[in-house]
Each structure stands twice: as structure tokens, then as C-alpha cells.
Amino acid sequence: MEHRCLDKGFVVWFTGLPGSGKTTLATKVAEILRRRGYRVEVIDGDWARKTISLGAGFTREERRIHLHRIAWVARLLARNGVIVLCSFVSPYRDVRRMIRNIIEEEAPFIEIYVYCPLEECIRRDPKGLYKKALRGEIKHFTGISDPYEPPENPDLVVDTVKNSVDENVESIIRLLEERFHI
């Protein structure tokens, strides 16, 4: 397959509670964009914490440092023509503002709020982390012992309870087509 090389890529930042569906959506969007011939990278929290942010903790300051690194990696990829889909809880508004500022110096930035009520995230609990957090075994767990500050003005809100994965992916692709003519 021939790759379409963009002069400048862009960053799509998926934020939401753990288990809300961020990585699922980012992965599906990436599949569609790759089929269209674009170079796409998905960066999610699990991968980042095993590689470029090895040892990163979960306090507010540790999350800020971790996400600062991710923002710079995303910026470097985007400025080199890659579409970067980032899937991170990124619970604090001020840190998401910092991320946006870093990336927008060189590349367009889209923030997508992956909305899912806490009760549903607890019910889904794909990694068993909510159970551990509710038992007090995990400190600084977003939604339980640490806050999540929903975005005030995201570019798009997708609801993973009311809408199917395919419906949400379609909304995201439609936004990217409108913004970037891809």
C-alpha cells in the first residue's frame, strides 16, 4: 500500500476515565486511517508506561511529567507528517492545556472527551483496577481516590454508553474529514 504523506500531521487526544473506551476508539480510528493510506501512530498509557515513561507514577506531579513527555513525542511525530492518536486518562484540565500548548506550537490538536459514567466504567473494569482501587490497593486512581476534571470545551464528545463503538468512530472520522480533508 502506498502511504499518503502529510506535510504536517495532527494529534488527536482521547481523554476520559479508565475503562471509558479511549484506546478502543483510537485503535479503530487508526485502522480506518491506515486503510486510507495514512501513517498513523497510536500511543496509549499502557504502552507509554512500559517504554518512554518507564517508572512513571500516578501522583498529580508524576502524571504531569509523564504527559509532558508524551506531548513532545506526539508533537515530533505530527510535525513529521504522522497522524498521532493519543489515549490517556489525562485527568487534569491544566495538564491537558499544557499538552495542547506544546503540540499546537507545531501541529494541529484535537481533544476528544470519551464520556462514560463512573458507574459504567466500574462495571466494565477491563483490567480489574477499579476493584483494587475500591479496596484501597491502588492509590491515586482516577475516579476513585483522585479526581477527573472533564474537558470544558472539547472538540468532540463521544458517549460510549449511548452510542456503539462504530457510531463513535464514525463521528470521529467525520470530524477529522471536516478539519483535515482526509
Q: Does 1 map to a domain?
A: no
Q: Kindly report, residue by residue over 136-155, the tens digit of the pLDDT.
A: 999 999 999 999 999 999 99
Displacement of CA 114 from its chain's centroid (Å): 9
Q: Does 5 map to a domain?
A: no
pLDDT confidence of residue 5: 65
Domain with 160 in it: what CATH number? 3.40.50.300
Q: Which cell numbers in the block locate residue 98?
A: 499544557
Task: Give the catalytic positions in this structure.
Answer: 90
Residues 6+ apart with CB under 8 A from 73: 43, 52
Q: Which cell numbers in the block locate residue 139?
A: 492509590
Q: Kindly report, residue by residue over 63-98, the tens digit of the pLDDT.
A: 999 999 999 999 999 999 999 999 999 999 999 999
Question: What range does the domain containing 56 cover?
Answer: 10-180
pTM as predicted: 0.95
Domain count, the chain: 1
